[in-house]
């Protein structure tokens, strides 16, 4: 099942450039208009992006300061390091049917992916970017989308990193911090 960003949030102190999250909170999807956030993970360094795999009961996040991607059960138990030794992981997306996790790394200027089960098999998909931020997958169309904060554009490629295309090019100075792709029926997109 695709991530539901409206049911998951990070909270913490603000710094000059972006929100510094040291807590992850989750809301019951059955009550989207009512308060009821539950703290599930605390003590994080700087959680930036969050995604949920509700079918398998997992939550995933990038931690920019700790230079890794972590996951836990939806109740916050069993926190695991999935991918470590990264530079500045920011955006994150899941391709659960294919068993892959995707992310952008601001520090290495790349879009990468690895095996969702254990974080092995890291692949560089797109390299030489300026400052890739945000990430979203359109699985139905077979595309990865990300923003470039320096060049002020949204780009996409195929899931294997080929055929990089500018989707929206506002130009340098335009601030792009994240991107979202609408769901396309069951299974998302």
Domain boundaries, the chain: 5-169
Please state the pTM of the whole predicted model: 0.76
**Per-residue tens of pLDDT for the chain, all 189 residues:** 444 444 445 555 443 333 345 555 555 555 455 555 666 677 777 878 889 999 999 999 999 889 999 999 988 889 999 999 999 999 999 999 999 999 999 999 999 999 999 999 999 999 999 999 999 999 999 999 999 888 889 999 999 999 999 998 876 554 555 555 555 544 443
CATH classification number, 5-169, choose in 3.30.1360.20, 2.120.10.30, 3.90.1150.10, 2.130.10.10: 2.120.10.30
pLDDT value at residue 47: 79
Can you give the three-state secondary structure of the chain, one letter per residue? CCCCHHHEEEECCECCCCECEEEEEECCCCCCCCCCCEEEEEEEEEEEEEEEECCCCEEEEEECCCCEEEEEECCCCCCEEEECCCCCEEEEEEECCCCEEEEEECCCCEEEEEECCCCCCCEEEECCCCCEEEEEEECCCCEEEEEECCCCEEEEEECCCCCCEEEEECCCCCCCCCCCCCCCCCCCC
pLDDT value at residue 44: 76
């Amino acid at each position: 099942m695709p991530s539901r960003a409206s049911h998951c949030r990070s909270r913490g102190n603000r710094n000059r450039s972006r929100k510094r999250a040291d807590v992850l909170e989750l809301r019951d999807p059955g009550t989207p208009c009512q308060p009821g956030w539950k703290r599930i993970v605390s003590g994080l360094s700087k959680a930036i992006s969050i995604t949920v795999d509700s079918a398998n009961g997992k939550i995933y996040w990038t931690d920019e300061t700790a230079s890794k991607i972590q996951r836990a059960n939806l109740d916050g138990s069993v926190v695991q390091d999935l991918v470590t030794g990264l530079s500045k992981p920011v955006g994150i997306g899941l391709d659960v049917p294919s068993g892959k996790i995707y992310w952008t790394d601001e520090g290495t200027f790349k879009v990468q992916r690895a095996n969702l089960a254990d974080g092995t098999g890291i692949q560089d998909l797109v390299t030489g970017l300026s400052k890739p931020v945000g990430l979203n997958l359109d699985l139905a169309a077979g595309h990865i989308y990300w923003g470039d904060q320096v060049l002020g554009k949204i780009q996409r490629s195929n899931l294997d990193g080929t055929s990089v295309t500018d989707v929206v090019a506002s130009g340098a100075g335009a601030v792009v911090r994240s991107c979202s792709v609408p769901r396309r029926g069951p299974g998302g997109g």
